[in-house]
Amino acid sequence: MTNSGTQCPCLSGRELVDCCGPFEGAPHPSGEVSAEVAHASLRSLLLQALREGRTMQEMWFAFLDEQPDRLRESMEAATDRQILADHFLWDWFHRYSESRPLCRAARAVEATDLRGGSRLDEWALASWEPWEVVSGSEDTWTLHRIGADRRIAVRKSFAHHGFQAGDGILSRVLNHLGHRFLGLSVSVFSGAKGRRELQIGYDRILHEFGLSTQVHLRPDIHNEVWLPLHDRLFALALHLKPGGPSPEKSTTAILDTPRPELGGSTPRQSALHEFGRHKLRHWLQGLPESDRRMVETLLD
């Protein structure tokens, strides 16, 4: 995450003076403000987070070392580099989600800007979600959450995030000063075919982790699965199709992975006592049929 020449630190690939430069030093007022002021404040705060991220060189290189070669080699477009930085800041940690780079950046920012640090903490709760672009213009876009009954109005954080009505997008949504903005990165799945690809890919990933596609992911609640799940969403955002585990490994993953819905226990552990079996019966209702049958064998 090094800055070369006068390129903008937001990784858009543009010159600083033509991208985020005009937004630097924007104030962070409290309360609801105009969309334009909120946008300037958001861009300024995102740049602060990215700059703090660049100081975490040891974490950055450890993060890169854990990425499969084929993912690192796909970093060609500027949007892909933003997706990589997004994944690093929001998702990467070893044990506790509070140690993610964005949370560390919040601690650094709050030393001089308490409100700014608090807003970074709020943004850190956002996960990548699949959206259908229903309608909109350059200013405001209406999105429908794929797989859930939720519709919101959002604004772009960056003009180079190009999509149109009918597309599917995978992005975080950041609340800031009374307005909603798309996150640091936006992965576009063009047209009806792309939306279907996004929905199938997202559903498959959440089902692998035993989660309903309608679940609202949070790092504090889904600490155990946050990083591996977002590793898979990272590959989806890059339009890559990682090879799935063998059937034997899938079985192990389903039955031997700790689940937040089971109080942090694995399905096998939960099946050993009556209260755990009660939780299992509720949890398996949201699983795909093949996984449900597998878990039901623990209740026989």
Quick one: what percent of the chain has pLDDT higher than 90? 48
What is the average pLDDT across 184-189?
95
What is the average pLDDT across 269-291?
80
Model pTM score: 0.72
Query: How high is the pLDDT of residue 51?
Result: 94
pLDDT at 295 over 60: yes
- Of 142 and 283, the one with more pLDDT: 142
153 CA to centre of own chain: 19
Q: How far, CA to CA in Å, does 51 sit from each of 105, 112, 231, 247?
A: 9, 15, 23, 43
What confidence tens digit (pLDDT) does each residue in 203-249 have? 999 998 888 888 889 998 898 899 999 999 999 998 886 554 333 33
Most trustworthy range by pLDDT among 109-113, 142-146, 156-160: 142-146
Residue 134 CB neighbour total at 10 angstroms: 14
Confidence band for 70, pLDDT divided at 50, 70 and 90: low
Query: How high is the pLDDT of residue 278?
Result: 85
The domain limits of the chain are 16-199, 200-296
When the pLDDT of each residue in the chain is averaged and rounded to a whole number, the result is: 83
Between 64-73, 93-102, 238-247, the lowest mean confidence (pLDDT) is in 238-247
What is the average pLDDT across 244-267?
62
Residue 144 CB neighbour total at 10 angstroms: 16
CA distance linking residue 90 with residue 129, whole number of Å: 13
